[in-house]
């Protein structure tokens, strides 16, 4: 496999599989880098990474999806890795991030797609399904609550307020960017290691993450959280699409009770809880990929 230290572009060649290619799409006024794979005419799946991830976070799911018969498109969301990083906080509101996904689906010549998100990408996926239900066929959510559940629990649970300390910290001007950028972004590396089970991220993988973070810096990623605070709530609460929620019970940032509450907002929802599994549920449990394939098929 390609060494990130000698290949700093962090594009699709990281997978060393010629079925996965890099492309660029201009959508909603920004140029996004996307990894693509699979028959262009096959059912479309869009995979959305979170923080501090990039497209490479879906490396374990891309090929299994292709081999099951799907077309897979995995963007670096705006502000990340090889995609554009517009200035300002408002550029990272949920309305803009979900519009990126909508236009990305249309760039494939499609009216709809299966949409799957992890972490902050899960918030975007929820928002796409709630703001534009007609463009989401099936929804997949990994370790992030329904936005209404998150806001409600934050108002009522001191325990969740403590767990969400970083969200409040990211609202402080300038300081988060300075701390996260120090010592070649060691604090970003720590965020991967602290939130995962031992061995989830090896040294080679961490080198690749560092390379991805260098492209745009950490500022746009912090603005995701600032933009989230400025975002309007979706126009509806109930998700009508078939929805799979996979949740690692040992997530240190999010209460597992929010997974059950989120499923209650889905007309056709299925919840899979994974004990002894961290926030990085799709990296640590092969059963997550298997469950996703069954859900989308």
| Whether residue 115 has pLDDT greater than 90 | yes
| Average of per-residue pLDDT values in the chain | 94
The residues, ordered by sequence, that sit 6+ positions from 254 with a Cβ below 8 Å of its Cβ are: 143, 144, 145, 160, 163, 279
With pLDDT > 70 as the criterion, what percentage of the chain qualifies? Answer: 97
| 134 in Cβ contact with 105 (< 8 Å) | no
248 DSSP β-pair partners:
274
The catalytic residue among 170, 209, 225, 265 is 225
Lowest-confidence segment of 88-92, 164-168, 200-204, 234-238 by average pLDDT: 164-168
Round the CA-based radius of gyration of the chain to a whole number and report it: 17
Cα(112)–Cα(297) distance, rounded to whole angstroms? 15
Q: What is the pLDDT of residues 73-88, one digit of tens each?
A: 999 999 999 999 999 9
Sheet with 113-118, side-by-side order of all strands: 20-27, 30-37, 71-75, 44-48, 113-118, 136-142, 243-248, 269-274
Structure confidence at residue 177 (pLDDT): 94
Q: With H, G, I as helix, E, B as strand and everything else as coil, classify residue 70.
A: coil
220: tokens are 């746009």
Distance between CA atoms of residues 105 and 137, nearest Å: 12
Q: What is the mean predicted confidence (pLDDT) over 261-286?
A: 97
Q: How far apart are CA 22 and CA 125, in angstroms?
A: 22
pLDDT score of 165: 87
What would the mean pLDDT of 167-194 be, rounded to a whole number?
93
Q: Is 225 a known active-site residue?
A: yes
pLDDT score for 8: 64
Exactly one of 114, 279, 282, 283 is catalytic; which is it?
Answer: 279
Which position among 119, 146, 209, 265 bears the catalytic label? 119
CA dist., res. 281 & res. 248, Å (int): 5
Predicted confidence band at 262 (pLDDT cuts at 50, 70, 90)? very high
Tell me the C-alpha to C-alpha distance, in Å, between residue 33 and each of 135, 164, 223.
21, 30, 19
Indicate if the pLDDT at residue 170 is higher than 60. yes
For residues 53, 56, 57 and 62, what is the CA-based torsion angle, rounded to 10 degrees? 150
pLDDT for 167? 86
Give residue 166's pLDDT: 86
Q: Is 11 a catalytic residue?
A: no
For residue 59, give every residue at least 6 positions away whose Cβ sits within 8 Å of its Cβ, in sequence order, or none.
14, 15
Residue 159 pLDDT > 50: yes
Q: What is the pLDDT of residue 3?
A: 44
Burial of 182 (0-12, 13-18, 19+ CB in 10 A): exposed
- Segment 187-228, tens digit of pLDDT: 999 999 999 999 999 999 999 999 999 999 999 999 999 999
* pLDDT over 80 (residue 1): no
Per the CB < 8 A criterion, the answer to whether 164 and 228 are in contact is: no
279 classed as catalytic: yes
Residues 6+ apart with CB under 8 A from 11: 22, 33, 35, 82
């Amino acid at each position: 496999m390609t060494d990130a230290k000698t290949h700093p572009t962090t594009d699709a060649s990281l997978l060393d599989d010629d079925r996965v290619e890099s492309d660029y799409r201009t959508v909603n006024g920004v140029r996004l880098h996307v990894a693509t794979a699979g028959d262009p005419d096959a059912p479309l799946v869009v995979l959305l990474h979170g923080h501090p991830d990039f497209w490479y976070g879906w490396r374990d799911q891309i090929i299994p999806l292709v081999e099951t018969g799907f077309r897979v498109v995995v963007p670096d969301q705006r502000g990340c890795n090889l995609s554009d990083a517009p200035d300002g906080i408002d550029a990272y509101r949920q309305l803009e991030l979900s519009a990126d996904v909508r236009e990305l689906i249309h760039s494939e010549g499609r009216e709809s797609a299966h949409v799957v998100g992890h972490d902050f990408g899960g918030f975007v996926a929820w928002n796409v399904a709630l703001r534009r239900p007609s463009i989401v066929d099936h929804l997949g959510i990994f370790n992030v609550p329904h936005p209404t559940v998150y806001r409600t629990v934050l108002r009522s649970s001191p325990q969740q307020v403590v767990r969400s300390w970083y969200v409040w910290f990211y609202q402080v001007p300038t300081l988060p960017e300075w701390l996260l950028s120090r010592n070649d972004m060691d604090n970003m590396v720590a965020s991967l290691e602290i939130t995962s089970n031992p061995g989830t991220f090896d040294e080679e993988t961490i080198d690749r993450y560092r390379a991805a973070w260098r492209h745009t810096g950490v500022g746009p990623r912090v603005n995701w959280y600032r933009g989230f605070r400025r975002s309007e709530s979706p126009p509806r609460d109930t998700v009508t699409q078939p929805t799979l929620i996979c949740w690692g019970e040992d997530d240190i940032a999010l209460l597992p009770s929010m997974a059950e509450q989120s499923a209650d907002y889905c007309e056709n929802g299925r919840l899979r809880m994974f004990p002894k599994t961290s926030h990085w549920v799709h990296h640590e449990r092969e059963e997550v990929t298997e469950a996703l394939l069954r859900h989308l098929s």
